[in-house]
Amino acid sequence: MIWGVLQFPGSCDERDALHACKVVGGEARLIWHEDRDLGGVGGVVVPGGFSYGDYLRPGAIARFSPAMEAVAELAAAGGPVLGICNGFQVLCEAGLLPGALLRNEELRFICKQADLIPLPRTSDVDGPKTQAGVEFSAHQHEGATLSIPIKHGEGRYYAPDDVLDELEAKGQVAYRYAAGHNPNGSVRDIAGVRNERGNVVGLMPHPEHAVDPLTGSTDGRKVFEALEGFAG
């Protein structure tokens, strides 16, 4: 699958995401924020960083970019979209994912390795179509944890209780921090969520920084692979 990685002014991790997409087996290219056309990519990564300097609110300006209109269309068509850190914030601001990211509980930027628990989707409507996706679902059911770094100042996931109840009921909580690993005070230890269909996933941890054994773990590959099944 060909991944497209969005690039906004102020993006930081777009080259890392590009590299990660290539490592997990796909082709990948950068997509400039002003491009209304995604150029036929199968899936999109909205990368980490500080798009527009986090001015106003993280993600609040980037969501209005022409490329994000195209991403919304891809998401509506069931194509895979992965938002990482600032990209997660952008997807929440764009209304493609529920909830919001607030300042870390301790009001400091924090960078460290964290253990994540991947959670399964409850229904398999539009489910993973590839072998990797199927294996990932199986892996999710085993409850194995993933070691993936986090680095952010505004990563405290928040949504009202009734929304959270619904997310949990529908299997929309995609990743939780393992016990003792919640770095920011996220409600119900939520590290990442998915849309109802499951093709749009956002998470604060950085799977693109966990694809090379030399620089840490390789567990991040599974986060990318899990979405490949949604490619058309």
Partner 1 sequence: MSDASTDVPRYRELGLTDSEYALIVEKLGREPNAVELAMFSLLWSEHCAYKHSRKLLRRLPTEGPRVVMGPGENAGAVDVGSGYAVAFKVESHNHPSAVEPFQGAATGVGGILRDVFAIGARPIAVLDSLRFGELDSVRSRHLLDGAVRGIGHYGNSIGVPTVGGEVYFEEPYEHNCLVNAMCIGFAKTEDMVRAAAAGVGNAVVLMGASTGRDGIGGASVLASAELGEGDDSKRPTVQIGDPFEESKVLECCLELLAKGLLVSLQDLGAAGLTSSAGEMASAGGVGIDIDVATVPLREADMEPFEIMVSESQERMLAVVEPSRVDEVRAICDKWQTGSAQIGVVTDSGHIRILKAGEVVGDMPVDALVDGCPLYDLSPAAPAAWVYGNRATLAADADSAATLLALLAAPSIASKKWIFQQYDSIVGSRTVRRPEAADAAVLQLPESGNAIAVSIDGNGRKVACEPFNGTVEAVLECAQNLACVGAEPLGLTNCLNFGNPEKPVPAWQLDRAISGLAAACEELGVPVVGGNVSLYNEGPDGPIYPTPVVGMVGELPDPARTAPSSFAKEGDAIGLLGPFAPTLHGSELAKQRGELEAGLPEPNVAAVAAACATVREAVRAGRVASAHDVSDGGLACALAECAIGAGLGCRADLQELRERGCTPEEALFGEGTGGFVLSGDRAELEALGARVIGEVGGTTIELAAGDRSLVVGLLDATEAWRSLDARAESVAEPPADA
Candidate list 79, 80, 128, 153; residue touching partner 1; CB under 8 A? 153
Q: How many CA atoms lie within 13 A of 136 on its CB side?
A: 27
- Total residues at the site for partner 1 (CB under 8 A)? 30
Binding mask 25-64 for partner 1 (x = CB under 8 A): -----------------------xxx-xxxx---------
From 152, 206, 209, 228, active-site residue: 206
Instruction: Mention every residue, 6+ apart, whose C-beta is less than 8 A from residue 166.
Output: 172
From 14, 154, 208, 225, active-site residue: 208
Which CB, 9 or 160, lies closer to partner 1? 9
Burial of 62 (0-12, 13-18, 19+ CB in 10 A): buried
Which CB, 55 or 64, lies closer to partner 1? 55
φ, ψ at 23 (rounded to 5°): -65, -40
Distance, in Å, from the CA atom of 232 to the CA atom of 228, rounded to the nearest integer, reads 9
Stretch that binds partner 1, among 9-17, 64-72, 155-163, 165-173 (CB under 8 A): 9-17
21: annotated active-site residue: no
Contact call for residue 149 and partner 1 (CB under 8 A): yes
For residues 90 and 154, the answer to whether their CB atoms sit within 8 Å is no
85: annotated active-site residue: yes
Burial of 95 (0-12, 13-18, 19+ CB in 10 A): exposed
Binding footprint of partner 1 on the chain (CB under 8 A): 9-13, 15-16, 19, 48-50, 52-55, 108-112, 149, 151, 153, 206, 208-209, 212, 214-216
